[in-house]
A and B are shown apart, each in its own frame.
Chain A
């Protein structure tokens, strides 16, 4: 009996196909159920359609065929997204950037202030609310981006290779913190990455994808219970999981041919 059993589906994708420009098959036969509370990683080489899958879930693009169903009503603040770049507005302060999801729903800054402060507290940037993005380091900008995705306390947060351009030390720190933030919010996370180690450390489900055409070829469970701390990285269990995921990724690369 693992913690994952007994979770209820949040989002179901069945036989989704996405074709760009009438010929490029970005995704083929993607069937995936995302359960509430999952930390799910989409892992695969470039061109395997993992970002396309994320954009489909975000509603930014629509499937060519197949179905994507949400269980229950989906409200405006139910979804948060973090891109590979921090994607902040340089002319606004940190707090004003985090305000964006509320601002677009017509909520005044003063009304949202408590949530904004809480989100900045969660990412450890409470002291920087009046700074402009240019004054921050790369890792701090990414934290602001995460705070913005979390400020409305969404049910689902999508992260598209958010730490790919950061140095390893910063990345480890943000990985640790991301798990704490997820636990604090109790949300579901879908995390796109091409790092085996990141996917093993963070997620409880790793979906391994192959390219040309983009498809799922394996799913592995990482049963290690949360909270996971930095020492998990040096454990034998972690090494075993990393080996298994690495092998699956190797198969995916072979399958791409």
Chain B
């Protein structure tokens, strides 16, 4: 009893130290990047004002901020268009990629027939395809959507295919012994095994869908069809409106961050109960 009493305060101290460290870490995770951001903005501002850098070379943070506010009526619809384009492309990439991955794992013939074309689609630079799509597809939005879809599709397909094949072979044997049907094997074994792989692919595809959308807008939006943020950015550069250019660039970054945050959150929520990648170990 005595020795336990003696040991208890040490434990408490350790606990307290750990709790304090966790608290500091939690706060630092947000404050440190914010601080870096603030300092960079200040440095940027003084670099531009002290050196009299012309606005068409590098606008300061103040005009860029002003542009975001003043051009909001123009930037907001553009951001909505780019978001819609990206999200729709990602959605189609997920449905198409997963469906094809399932087909590949269910039929060797399907995989042999179509996999090379999936690779060709992936390795052909989307910049090279975009002008063609513009010729064949009437709607600029649909053409841009196809571009973004092509880029986002492959990581989903490739990761999901690998994931569907990754199930433990002993579990496969167990399913055989219990006379599982093909559907049961897919639903209860292959699909859950593939989930972490799929979610990894989703995070990559989310970023790629945005890149695809931006590239497509650069190429297709040039004709004055006025698509989203990237078209706005390009147009602003023609007009030497560098405040607006930077404003559009910042909004694209914010969109990218939002997509990454959302896909990461989805991944975390779906895996937190069981997958190593989502578990935090007690130190």
Taking A89-B188, A104-B180 as given, write out 14 further A-B residue pairs in contact, using a Cβ cutoff of 8 Å, ordered by the A residue number. Answer: A58-B173, A76-B178, A79-B177, A83-B170, A85-B170, A87-B171, A91-B195, A100-B188, A103-B188, A104-B179, A105-B178, A132-B273, A134-B274, A134-B279
Are B179 and A90 touching (Cβ within 8 A)?
A: no
| B176 in contact (CB, < 8 A) | yes
Are B178 and A100 touching (Cβ within 8 A)?
A: yes
Are B176 and A60 touching (Cβ within 8 A)?
A: yes
Distance in angstroms from A70 CB to nearest chain B CB is 14
In the assembled complex, the Cα of A77 lies from the Cα of B176 at a distance in Å of 12
Complex interface bits, B164-181 against A, C-beta within 8 A gives 1, otherwise 0? 000010110111111110
Nearest neighbor of B275 in chain A, beta-carbon distance: A90
- Interface residue tally on B, bucketed by range: 20 to 34
| A37 in contact (CB, < 8 A) | no
In the assembled complex, the Cα of A103 lies from the Cα of B185 at a distance in Å of 11
| A101 in contact (CB, < 8 A) | yes
Are A90 and B178 touching (Cβ within 8 A)?
A: no
| A21 in contact (CB, < 8 A) | no
| Subset of 29 A-B contacts with CB under 8 Å | A55-B173, A58-B177, A59-B177, A60-B177, A76-B178, A81-B174, A81-B177, A83-B170, A83-B173, A83-B174, A87-B168, A87-B171, A87-B174, A89-B171, A89-B189, A89-B192, A90-B274, A90-B275, A91-B195, A91-B273, A101-B178, A104-B184, A104-B188, A105-B178, A105-B179, A132-B273, A132-B274, A134-B274, A134-B279
Distance in angstroms from A136 CB to nearest chain B CB is 12
Nearest neighbor of A55 in chain B, beta-carbon distance: B173
List residues of chain B with CB within 8 A of the CB of A59: 176-177
Nearest neighbor of A79 in chain B, beta-carbon distance: B177
- For the complex, would chain A's binding face be called helix, strand, loop or mixed by DSSP majority? loop
Complex interface bits, A98-136 against B, C-beta within 8 A gives 1, otherwise 0? 001101110000000000000000000000000011100
List residues of chain A with CB within 8 A of the CB of B173: 55, 58, 60, 81, 83
Nearest neighbor of B195 in chain A, beta-carbon distance: A91
Distance in angstroms from A64 CB to nearest chain B CB is 19
In the assembled complex, the Cα of A105 lies from the Cα of B179 at a distance in Å of 8
Are A104 and B274 touching (Cβ within 8 A)?
A: no
| B170, B189, B195 interface centre (most CB from chain A within 10 Å) | B170
List residues of chain A with CB within 8 A of the CB of B273: 91, 132
In the assembled complex, the Cα of A156 lies from the Cα of B271 at a distance in Å of 36
Nearest neighbor of B196 in chain A, beta-carbon distance: A91
| B184, B188, B192, B195 interface centre (most CB from chain A within 10 Å) | B188
Nearest neighbor of B191 in chain A, beta-carbon distance: A91
Nearest neighbor of A76 in chain B, beta-carbon distance: B179
List residues of chain B with CB within 8 A of the CB of A133: 274
